[in-house]
Chains A and B, each alone.
Chain A
Amino acid sequence: MSEPLIIFKIAGRSCALMASDVQTVIELSAITPVPRAPEYIVGLAALRSQTLTVIDTRLVVGQAPSNFPTDHRAAVVQVSGHSYAFRVDQVCDVGTMLSDADTIPGGFGTNWQAFAKGMVETEMGPALLLNAANFIASCDQSVAAA
């Protein structure tokens, strides 16, 4: 409880990551596309000497990015040694966790269930707390299924 969170919007929905999981929030500028990579991989971006794999989170949850303008900011997370930048609609703010992560009756939907830790209350209203590692894993699975 009362742990800091990074709150952002994916396809219009409020989502959050534990601040301790997020390395930094960056402004995405030049992105090198990766030909023949799965669609949700926007490309590669550089953060100092680090290379980031940029993932469009909207595609991962099954939404069309074109419906949601982005402010080009992205949250950088590290999963098993690789750094990823999550492209979102917008990064809103840093908030605190006002409640424990909780499930809601009926679940969060098939697109979200795999990486949802649960719903948390924040100063900015309820948000879905995500598990970054599961998020990456579910990206790869969605490709395998397709």
Chain B
Amino acid sequence: MDDLLTDFIAETREMMEAIEGEIIAWEASPSDSSRLDAIFRFVHTVKGNCGFFDLPRLERLSHAAEDVLSEVRAGRREPDARLVSTILASIDCIGEMVNAIEAEVPFPRGRELPLISALERGEDVETEAEEAPKSSKPSETQPAAPRSIRLPVNLLDRVMSGVSDMVLARNDLANRLQGAGTQPTIDGPFERLTSILNDVRDAITRMRMQPVEQLFAPIPRIVRDLSQELGKQVLVEIEGSDVELDREVIEIIRDPLTHIVRNAVDHGIESPSQRIEAGKHEAGLLHLTARQTGNRISLVISDDGRGLDDEKIAYKALANGLITEEQRAKMDSHAIHQLIFEPGLSTASTVSNISGRGVGMDVVRDKLERVGGWIDVSSKAGEGTAIHLHIPLTMSIIAGLIVQVAGQRFALPQSYVEEVAYGADADLEPTEIGDACLVTMRGQRVPCLFLADILGLERSAKIEDHTFLLLRLAKGDQFVLAFDSVHNIGDIVIKPLAPSILKTDLYSGTALLDDGEPILLLDLPLIAINCGVADPKRTRAATMLEDSGETTQDEHQTAMHFVALDGSQQAVRLELVKRIETISTREIDLAGTSPHAIVDGEILPLAGCDDAPISGAKIRLLRLNDGSRELVYAVSEVLDTVPLTEAPLPSKDNAFVEGHLLIDGQAVALLNGAALFEAFGSDNEKLQPTVCNLPDSEWGRSILAPLLASNGYAITYGQGQGQADILIAIEEEDGEQASKQSGDAAPMIHLHVPQSEEDGDAPKHDASLRFERSALLAVLDNVSNRQRAAGGKS
């Protein structure tokens, strides 16, 4: 039960952070009901959970807030600024209560009462709204964040290096143990030590990293409060929150960032009337972006306000003796703008209590420079200002592939890797054209670079001895990298390189392997550009696209054209093909009704080998994935990728064939992915535990799911209903939707989240109950047994 309460607290906090932005967005456009829904869901979920945990005060508050919101939702009440403020204050109050619950201290008696009455008596909101901000104050200084403590960084570093030393000592011990032969009494505990050590090391490494989200999350609220105070309208846009930064750096730039944002709202963005006069939209736009580019992270804070005033800055700088008239004459407007980072320059004519707090941009610059970063500003009068913070990347974690060439190991980011192939593979057809080399992969001739040549190391004599990696850079530039062998795959911690090594333009970082050996991370985009296999401009543009989270999609669908085991030509839609695998035929099991193959230690259903004999030592498989299910399809040869420009001619004789395509004058059967997955993909589900389908809500995910999972049920959410054995719906939240589905074979259980009046609902479904742990489990058990018995009979 304690675990559940902890989950509840964590979940509530998470949701609070998530909806903070929603509230502000909702206030900006009260008619946007999708925003309102999220907020409503939050208070609703909190209320529901309170009944479960016996937290009456929290329940009353959330209930009151829910009532108000549902009235707004039903259109019976207009959301005005005061109402929003009251709701915000209530949500803050919920946060404080949750903190109190966690700290196991009593929440001040009656703190929530004024809010509840403000919520309940709608017309009285005005007087209470003044009360409300007061109660929201404490939470501003202590934002709702997961429990955390502050640690000196050098202590953390000491722990980190201690763990690294431990790993080295363990490896040394492992070598000695190996020399001494098998000793069961020692080997067991040693194995345990190893796995514990790995866990600890992983945790320690992640201790330092944090997504930038933490930095950005409070911004919308700050902007909202500030713009309300100033009578301005500001929209906030945030991009790239998932970039991870060293915690130390996050702490250091937290205040500067807030300062810059405040400045932008206070001085940058004009009042609505000024904006309309200037021909802009009355609401200003504040844009925050985080991007990782090479060895650093860039944060850009831009607004579309009035821009910096050259004359004013220059005048101030002259008056303060920062520059001389002579210097002024030589400065262009960009140079003048940089003056805002000089100490003793504040352009605001009156020092407001918002940004003129004595913390100037000079402090911001100093802080950044202390971590090795820098700051600059670009601005255009009347169009806006953008402030760029450049922060060096002290450390990052990536999924890396470790490869070996000429006896030395190198790492490369796994995200670029499309496919691995071995030199002995006949399909590769390595061809040397002059000094260049081309190989055929996925039916395309791709330029091939030899890592040994790039690094000036000795190349293995025979092409067959190489391993080939098909790499795809951000904007589709493809090339193949050849080296001796793949060593292993795993998360690696990347640290920056000394400048003199960076200058080689070959490496972007260094990492320590488990055995303590430092290795170099290859800078693939730069290598590709320098070797001429990627266009520098395209790659750079692509990096930016990739960073901003946009993806470009092909207009045309494509299919993979291959020869099946029985010799016929077939094709399958390319989006289904996850990988091409080559495995030993020994790992294929044709016995029994459903053939399967072992790929990467996973047992996958095998299709495509019905009538044809399997010969040879190796077999080529297409690994297909429809998003939830996987299977492998045996092929004898992969031919090419072909665009699906025309609709396939429908075919009826074979259920597995969607239709026929005309490729090079030949009819090629296009496989029907859905039918394949239906026939093969579902087979291994029988061995699986009973699957419960839960509503895709926070409540379902974090309260119901852990409870059911700990009792041996498998969980699906929302859409996957077709596969579920039992559907669980939550009354009121998505009751209507779910009842429409009740025609399905799977029985449905309806849950009532503890609710006031509507409890008398007749149990017209398979089961319907109030949410109570033991009762739910009992019913589930019952239904799933019935289900199994029925399945056995049929």
> How near does chain B come to A74, taking the closest CB pair, in angstroms?
14
Q: Is B445 an interface residue (CB 8 A)?
A: no
From the candidates A35, A36, A51, name the one contacting B512 in the complex (CB within 8 A).
A51
- In the bound complex, do residue A35 and residue B506 qualify as a contact, i.e. CB atoms below 8 Å apart? yes
User: Restricting to A70-93, which residues have a CB under 8 Å from any CB of B?
Assistant: 80-82, 84
A139 to B503, CA, bound (A): 13
Q: Which residues of A contact B408 (CB under 8 A)?
A: 32-33, 35
The answer on a CB contact under 8 Å between B500 and A35 is no
Q: Does A46 contact B (CB under 8 A)?
A: yes
A48, B510: Cβ atoms closer than 8 Å = no
Q: Which residues of B contact A123 (CB under 8 A)?
A: none
Asked if B456 lies at the interface with its beta carbon under 8 angstroms from chain A, I say yes
Query: B519 touches which one: A32, A50, A81, A143 (CB < 8 A)?
Result: A32
Q: Which residues in A have their C-beta under 8 angstroms from that of B495?
A: 51
Instruction: Decide: A49 and B506 in contact? CB cutoff 8 A.
Output: no
CB closest chain-B residue, reference A38:
B500
A44's partner among B372, B394, B520 (CB-CB below 8 A) is: B520
Q: A53 with B512: in contact, given A34-B520, A82-B496 (CB under 8 Å)? A: no
* Cβ of B457 under 8 Å from chain A: yes
Q: Is B498 an interface residue (CB 8 A)?
A: yes
A19 to B397, CA, bound (A): 34
Across the interface, do B507 and A34 meet the contact criterion of CB distance under 8 Å?
yes
A37 CB-CB contact with B under 8 Å: yes
Residue B351 lies at the interface, judged by CB distance under 8 Å to chain A: no
- Cross-interface CB contact of B504 among A33, A36, A80, cutoff 8 Å: A36
* Cα separation A53 to B496 with both chains bound (whole Å): 11
Which of these, A36, A46, A140, contacts B516 with CB under 8 Å?
A46
From B161, B504, B517, A34 is in contact (CB under 8 Å) with B504
A81-B507 Cα distance, complex, nearest whole Å: 18
Is B242 an interface position by the 8 A CB rule? Answer: no
Nearest CB of chain A from residue B571's CB, rounded to whole Å: 43
| Max chain B C-beta neighbours (<10 A), residue from A30, A46, A49, A140 | A49
Taking the closest CB of chain A, its distance from the CB of B411, in whole angstroms, is 11
Chain A, residues 116-138, CB within 8 Å of chain B (1/0): the string is 00000000000000000000100
B191 contacts A by Cβ under 8 Å: no
Residue among A48, A49, A140 making CB contact with B499, cutoff 8 Å = A140
* A136 / chain B contacts, CB cutoff of 8 Å: 500
Q: Do B372 and A81 have beta carbons less than 8 Å apart?
A: yes
Contact B512 A143 (CB under 8 A): no
A145 to chain B, nearest CB (A): 13
Q: Would A37 and B510 count as touching, CB distance under 8 A? A: no
CA distance A37 to B501 in the complex (A): 6
Q: In the complex, which residues 24-46 of chain A have their Cβ closer than 8 Å to any Cβ of chain B?
A: 30, 32-38, 41, 44-46
B500 A49 Cβ-Cβ under 8 A: no
A80 and B372 contact, CB distance less than 8 A: yes
Residues of A contacting B456 in the complex (Cβ-Cβ under 8 angstroms): 35-36
- How many interface residues does chain A have, given as a range? 20 to 34
Q: Which residue of B lies closest to A80 (CB)?
A: B372
Asked whether, in the complex, the Cβ of A37 is within 8 Å of the Cβ of B500, the reply is: yes
Q: How far is the CB of B5 from chain A (nearest CB, A)?
A: 37
Q: Which residues of A contact B160 (CB under 8 A)?
A: 49
For residue A140, give the distance in angstroms from its CB to the closest CB of chain B: 5
How distant is the Cα of A65 from the Cα of B496 in the complex, in angstroms? 28
B164 within 8 A of A: yes
State A33–B406 Cα separation when bound (angstroms).
12
Contacts of A33 in B (CB 8 A): 408
Q: Which residue in chain A gives the minimum CB-CB distance to B506?
A: A36
Evaluate contact between A49 and B161: CB separation under 8 angstroms.
Answer: yes
Nearest residue (CB) in B for A35 is B455
CB distance from A33 to the nearest CB of B (A): 7
- Whether A53 pairs with B498 at a CB distance below 8 angstroms is yes
B490 proximal to A (CB < 8 A) = no
Out of B372, B394, B500, B518, name the residue touching A51 (CB < 8 Å).
Answer: B518
A45 to B168 CA separation, bound complex (whole angstroms)? 14
Provided the pairs A80-B372, A84-B498 are in contact, do residues A48 and B164 lie with their beta carbons within 8 angstroms?
yes
B520 adjacent to A32 (CB under 8 Å): yes
Q: Which of A38, A49, A140 contacts B164 (CB 8 A)?
A: A49
Q: Flag whether B465 is at the interface (Cβ < 8 A).
A: no
Q: In the assembled complex, how far is the CB of residue A63 from the closest CB belonging to chain B, in whole angstroms?
A: 19
Nearest chain A CB to B426 CB, angstrom units: 32
Q: Report the separation of the CA atoms of residues A44 and B510 in the bound assembly, to the nearest whole angstrom.
A: 9
Q: How far is the CA of A40 from the CA of B512 in the complex (A)?
A: 22
**Cβ of A143 to closest chain B Cβ, rounded Å:** 7
Do B501 and A32 have beta carbons less than 8 Å apart? Answer: no
Tell me whether A46 and B512 are in contact (CB under 8 A).
yes
Q: Fill in one digit per residue for A43-61: 1 if any B CB lies within 8 Å of its CB, else 0.
A: 0111011110100000000
Let me know if B248 is at the binding interface, CB within 8 A: no
| Cross-chain contact B519 with A48 (CB below 8 angstroms) | no
Q: Which listed residue, A36, A81, A143, touches B496 by the CB 8 Å rule?
A: A81
User: B494 CB to closest chain A CB, in angstroms?
Assistant: 10
Q: Considering the complex, give the chain B residue whose CB is closest to the CB of A139.
A: B500
CB nearest to B455 among chain A residues: A35
Residues of B within 8 A of A37 (CB): 500-501, 504
**Smallest distance from the beta carbon of A114 to chain B beta carbons, Å?**
15
Within 8 Å of chain A (Cβ to Cβ): is B165? yes
Which chain B residue has the least Cβ–Cβ distance from A79?
A: B498
Of listed A38, A45, A53, residue having the most chain B CB within 10 A = A53
- Bound Cα distance from A139 to B512, whole angstroms: 25
Instruction: Please tell me if the beta carbons of B164 and A34 are within 8 angstroms of each other in the complex.
Output: no
Which residue of chain B has the shortest Cβ distance to A44 in the bound complex? Answer: B518
Known: A35-B457, A49-B163, A82-B498. 6 other contacts (CB 8 A): A37-B504, A44-B519, A51-B510, A53-B500, A81-B392, A140-B500
B: residues with CB less than 8 A from A are: 160-165, 372, 392, 394, 408, 455-457, 495-501, 503-504, 506-507, 510, 512, 516-520
Closest 9 CB pairs of A and B: A35-B455, A48-B161, A49-B164, A44-B518, A53-B498, A82-B498, A49-B161, A51-B518, A51-B510
Interface pairs (6), CB distance under 8 Å: A32-B519, A34-B520, A36-B455, A48-B165, A136-B500, A140-B500
